Structure formats: structure tokens, C-alpha cells
Structure 1
Amino acid sequence: MSKAKFEIAFEGHPFDEGEIDVRDLAPTLLALGDVVQAANKALNGDRANARLKMATTDEGSFVVALTMDVGWLTDMLDTVDAHKQRVDAANQVMDLIIKGTTITVGGTIGLIAAVKALKGKPPDKVKLKSDGTAEITNNRNNFLVDERTLKLMQDSPTREAIADLGKNASQVDGLDYLRIGADTEAIKAVRLTKTDLTSFKKPPEADEPGTETTRREAWLKIVTMHFTFGYKWRFSTRGERPFLAEMEDSDFQNDVQKGKVTLHANDTIRCQLREEQSISASSLITTIYVEKVVEHRPGARQMNLL
């Protein structure tokens, strides 16, 4: 089992005496515990479990000393060095979560600092680097995270736990800053204002459309045609409103261009159609393609009176 110690502090006038209402403290600590467990689950899967425990501390602005345990689920695995290399231990997991900004340029930041920097919005750009880090661009500002921190940022349960932490901590009366971690000579701890905490909401997921494809054979009446590749033709069927379709039968279109097939308005074609529907939460887009012309029938050129 490995352990990592860190602290969080409630900074503000009501906490100068080193006291806090347990009704404010408990929800924040429970939410932070959920963040730790979700992050450990994302990084270590079922190979290791994690617990967040409270330890004693000195008085001051109300400071809570915490210990995180990451233990192997099977005692036998404690003796297998190869397994330990595949499990992120407590100090690594905690570093990926709470690491603040480094004094020197070029260092990585942890999950909470990254979420703070994004201000509730998805990043503009993410660039994976060969050294195991990722460069994130947000509103023309760049910062580095470990690729495992990026994994946490993309993990839905972890982001939901982060959002819950922000919600609970932002409701603490008199809170100026929630400090996570401690300042050192090399790293500045993450300090979160209420504005930061309220921006911890999980960003909306991209509205990615799904596509459904159907194929059928149909008779279509030609309304307008184009002799240039890439332009859509206009058809009608059974008295319905005309619609556009992309002509994909290059052989038929070549025959038209070479004069082997003469087309006029009101001609009909029997063809194989492909219909693609892109479905998303906000739209439905249908695109029709003529894959192959099976038969062409000229339309009537004059009325048959006899």
C-alpha cells in the first residue's frame, strides 16, 4: 500500500480562528473523496482501490490534513514488482489531481489547476507530445499536463466528481479561497475562488451526429441536370416536391457528356439510391445519392392524339 499526504485550506475571515461549520466541511470533503476515487478508477481500473482519510493538523485558517491510500486489491500483488509498475501509486495519483503551477516555465499542472484554467469550457486545441505530456490551448493561453491528467480530464465520472466538489465548496459562507495543496519553493498551490468553483461544471459534450444509411431502387423524374461532375441534380417522384441528389454514376454521366445518352426534362430513370441521414440532438440532415442508373426512359415529346 502507498500513501500520499496533502492538505486543503478554507481561507477567509470566518476561518481565522481555525474553526468551520461541519455542515460546510463534510460535503466538500466527501466530494473531494469522490474525485480521488473516480481518478484512481480511471487510472488504475480495478487493480487498486483508493481511500481519502483525515489526519490531525495545527490551527490556522482552517486547514485539513488528508491522507490518500492506494492499496492493491490482492495482497499477493504487493510482492510483484512488475505489477507496481503498472499501478499509479498514491503520490502519483495525488500529483496528477492537485499539482499546482510550477515556478519554472515548462512544468505540468494537475487536474484541478487545468479545470480552473479552462473556466468551464472545452479546450481550443490539445496537442500530444512525445515526452508523455499534452499541450492544451485555451483562449490563446497554453499549459502542459501529464497525459494521464488529460485522461482524467476526459473521464466522465471524474469530471462529474470535480463538478460536485465545485458545487459544494462554492456554498461555504465566507470562503475567499479553497486552497488545495501547500505552497513550496518549486510549486504554487492551487487556490480556487468561488468563481473558479462555480466554473467546475462538466462542459457540454460535443453534439456528434450519428449517420444512418438506407438503399433502395426507385423511378425518378429528371427536373434539372448538370453536365459537370460534383453538381447536384434535381429530381421528383410521385408528384412530391423536387429534391436534390448527387449523381455518383460516372459511367452514365460520361455517356451524357459524350452524347451517347440524350437527356431532357421529364425523362425518367430507374436507379439505385443511397440515402444518408445525419442525426444529432439539434438537427436531421438527409443527403441522397444516385449510385447507379439502371434504366433511362425518355419523356413524351408530343401528345399522342390517335
Structure 2
Amino acid sequence: MENDDMKFRIVYDGPALDTHEMDVRDLAPALLSLSDALEEAGKTIYGKDKRISVKVNASFKAGSFGVDLIAQSTSISSQIIGAFSGTNASAACNIISLVGFGYLASKQSYKGLIQLIKWLGPKKIKRIEPTFDGNAEIFIDDESEVFDNQVLELYKNKKIRRSLENVISKPLEKDGIDSFAVTIDNGHTFVEVTKDEALFFKVDSAEETIISESITERALHPLDISFRDGHKWNFSDGASPFQAEVSDEKFLKAIDEQSVAFAKGDLLLVDLKITQYLADKGIKTSYEVVNVKKIINPQRQIDFPF
């Protein structure tokens, strides 16, 4: 078993922290997300046998609101693949540098994930070209910068990006918290993200991929009718309630013109479109009433025995 430690410190600053206090409901999720980000970065760079964990040191130093942390890497493998040249750099130090929390002495000008996100800002990447030394040149508009390929791997990892959003963007949304910073050299240098830059760390919801789509005839019981934009109605199909968009314009127009009416307890026989998406948190299902075929009143419609 191999252990590598890396001490670093995160600091939140702003007038709301003049008393050097921070709400634990803001801090605890940020620290957990920080641990998640570094752990996922370790898996991305080194593979699943490498674990990077974060522990809170005993000392909380005054000045804004800072927390001393220790990043530890453990491996079931005896071999550490250095993310930088040379074998003396620890895995935890490599990850801290690749994420962009600080620089190795041998790589003073090294740019990590945080620097990439800040440099991109609200702009989109136009193209990426490989360089002769095995890195990647990223182009936005008329500018370009060279980043390590491993930084790009971190940039593409949705879990890491979500975790950084929780560490940086969400705390800085609070009034009076104006910046986030990290130091790995006891305050001699800081990597800082301002309140304006924190917006760049928000991750847009990824486009959802349709995995199943079908239209089926279904009798529905309207539970709650809405005539607001979107026409989201609540229905029951006899098994469970759900929300569906009513997109049958002919039916909606008939209701508006009062040429059709239905009473409490009536059922709608409809063509129901059921779409399943692959979303961030698994499978998501949406419902849409694309055609209303008939209004059924159970009290009036009785089958005659023959």
C-alpha cells in the first residue's frame, strides 16, 4: 500500500465572512463535493485502483474563512504513473495541479482545469488540435492556449465539473461571499476565482438522449387542469398519477371556445406519447397527450346486457 499526502488550503472571502464564520450548510456540501472532484480526478488520471481522499486538518486559521485540508492518495498498485515528468511528484500533488489548485515547482506555468474554465469563460471551444509534445491546443475565436491532454479529460468529466460547481459556484451565489481561493504554499501564492468568474463553473444540463418513444391509446382521468403556458395537466391512468403536456391544439381550442365541455369524473380517451430519456440521474420519462379521441362519462355510459 502506498500513501502520498498533499496539504492545501481553501479560502472563501467576502464581507459576510468578516467574523471568520461560515454556515455549515454551505461548507459541508462544498467540502464533500471537493472530495468527490479530487477522487473522480484520481480515477480519471490513474484508473480505478487509485483513490484520492480529502481530510480536514485540525487547524482552522483566521482570515476570511479558510479550511486546511490534506489530500491523500492510496493505491493497490506498487507503481505510480507520474502525471508530470519525473517520478518524485506524488499522485495527490499531480491531481491538485491538474485540477488547477496549484503548481508543481517544476511546472510553474502549468495550467489546470480551473485555469481552462476561467480562460474559456462564456465562450465555446471551436476546435482542438494535438501539439508535437503530446498536449492539446484549444481554439476559441481568435485565441488559443495549450493544455495538457489530461486536463481535457477532466474537463469532459461531468462528475468532476458538477463537483467543482458545488465547491465554487454555489457558495459564491450567497450574498457577501465574493471569492474562492486555494493555496498549496501557505499563502505565498493563491489560485483565485472571483464571484463573476464563478458563473463559468456552472455546468449546463447535458442534452438528454431519447432511448424509447411510443404512442399508445389510453383512458385518462384528469386530476388537475392547467391553462397556463405549456398546458401541463395532472392525470391518473388508474395505476398512478403523472403529469403530461396536452398538445392537441384542436381539443384546447374547443375548450377555449366552449364548444366542448367535460365534468368532474369524466375520462379522456387519448393517444398518449411516452418518451424515455437517458438523463443525468438515470431514466427520465415524459408524457404528452397528442390527440384527444373521446370524452367518456362513466355515469352516462352503461353497457346493456344482451
TM-score range, shorter chain: 0.5 to 0.7
**Alpha-carbon separation, structure 1, partners of 2:93 and 2:153:** 17
Equivalent in the alignment of 1:84? 80
**Aligned residue pairs: how many?**
201
Find out whether 1:196 has 2:170 as its counterpart: no
Q: Partner amino acid for 1:47?
A: D
Counterpart of 1:58, as a letter, is K
**Which one of the candidate residues 78, 82, 95 is aligned to 2:97?**
95
Answering whether residue 50 of structure 2 is matched by residue 48 of structure 1, we say yes
Deviations 1:219-266 (CA, angstroms, capped at 9, x unpaired): xxxxxxxxxxxxxxxxxxxxxxxxxxxxxxxxxxxxxxxxxxxxxxxx
Quote the offset at 1:14 in angstroms. Answer: 2.4
Task: Give the whole-Å Cα distance in 2 for the aligned partners of 1:2 and 1:67.
Answer: 10
- Alpha-carbon spacing, 1:114–1:27, altered in 2? closer, same or farther (3 Å): same
- Decide whether aligned partners of structure 1 residues 168 and 8 sit closer, same or farther in structure 2, where only a CA change above 3 A counts: same
State whether structure 2 residue 34 is matched by structure 1 residue 61. Answer: no
Distance in 2 between residues matched to 1:106 and 1:128, nearest whole Å: 22
How far did residue 149 of structure 1 move? 0.9
Conservation of the 8 A alpha-carbon contact between 2:82 and 2:94: no
Q: Following TM superposition, by how much is the alpha carbon of 1:61 offset from its aligned partner in structure 2, in angstroms?
A: 1.5
The Cα shift of 1:113 comes to 1.9
Percent identity over paired residues: 27
Could you give the per-residue CA deviations for residues 172-201 of structure 1, whole angstroms, max 9, x where no partner exists?
33111111235799x953222223222212
| Closer/same/farther in 2, CA of residues 139 and 189 from structure 1, 3 Å limit | farther
Q: Which has the larger radius of gyration?
A: 1
AA aligned opposite 1:5: K
Between the aligned partners of 1:181 and 1:134, the Cα distance in structure 2 is: 26
Instruction: Please tell me whether the aligned partners of residues 99 and 112 of structure 2 are also in contact (alpha carbons under 8 angstroms).
Output: yes
Deviates more, 1:128-137 or 1:198-207: 198-207
What residue number does 1:160 align with?
A: 162
Letter in 2 for 1:200: F
Following the alignment from structure 1 to structure 2, what is the Cα–Cα distance between the partners of residues 125 and 152?
17
2:138 aligned with 1:136, yes or no?
yes
Evaluate the alpha carbon distance shift between residue 160 and residue 207 of structure 1 in structure 2; reply closer, same or farther with a 3 A threshold: same
Q: Return the letter of the residue paired with 2:137.
A: E
Q: State the TM-score, normalized to the length of structure 2.
A: 0.56
Name the residue aligned to 1:70.
Answer: 73
Rounded to whole Å, the distance in 2 between the matches of 1:116 and 1:132 is 23
Change (3 A) 1:19 1:204: closer
SS at match of 2:174: coil
Instruction: Please say if residues 136 and 148 of structure 2, whose CA atoms lie closer than 8 Å, have aligned partners that are also in contact.
Output: yes
Whole-angstrom CA distance in 2 between matches of 1:57 and 1:26? 14
Instruction: Quote the offset at 1:140 in angstroms.
Output: 2.9
- State the SS of the aligned residue for 2:31: helix
Tell me if structure 2 keeps the 8 A contact 1:38–1:161. Answer: no
Letter of the 2:182 counterpart: I
Give the aligned partner of residue 19 of structure 1: 21
How large is the RMSD of aligned CA atoms in angstroms?
Answer: 3.5
Amino acid at match of 1:192: V
TM-score using structure 1 length? 0.56
Question: Which residue identity is paired with 1:181?
Answer: T
Output the CA distance in 1 between the equivalents of 2:11 and 2:23.
Answer: 14
**1:123, distance to aligned residue in structure 2 (A):** 1.5
Q: Deviations over 1:103-122 (max 9, x none)?
A: xx993311112112222543
**1:61-98 CA distance string (max 9 Å, x none):** 111111111101x3xx3xx3xx2236871000111012
- Distance between the aligned counterparts of 2:185 and 2:108, measured in 1? 18
Q: Alignment partner of 1:180: what SS?
A: strand
Aligned to 1:223: none
> How far apart, in 1, do the equivalents of 2:50 and 2:120 lie?
30
Partner of 1:244: none
Q: Secondary structure at the match of 1:85?
A: coil
| Counterpart-to-counterpart distance in 1, 2:108 and 2:194 | 25
Q: Judge conservation of contact 1:122–1:203 (CA < 8 Å) in 2.
A: no
The runs of 5 or more residues in structure 2 that have no matched partner are 84-89, 210-306
Q: Structure 1: where are the runs of 5+ without partners?
A: 209-306
Structure 2 letter corresponding to 1:84: I
Structure 1 residues 10, 207: CA separation in 2 closer, same or farther (over 3 Å shift)?
Answer: closer
Q: Does structure 2 conserve the Cα–Cα contact (< 8 Å) formed by 1:14 and 1:174?
A: yes
Q: Deviations over 1:15-64 (max 9, x none)?
A: 23322222221122122122112211211221111111111243111111
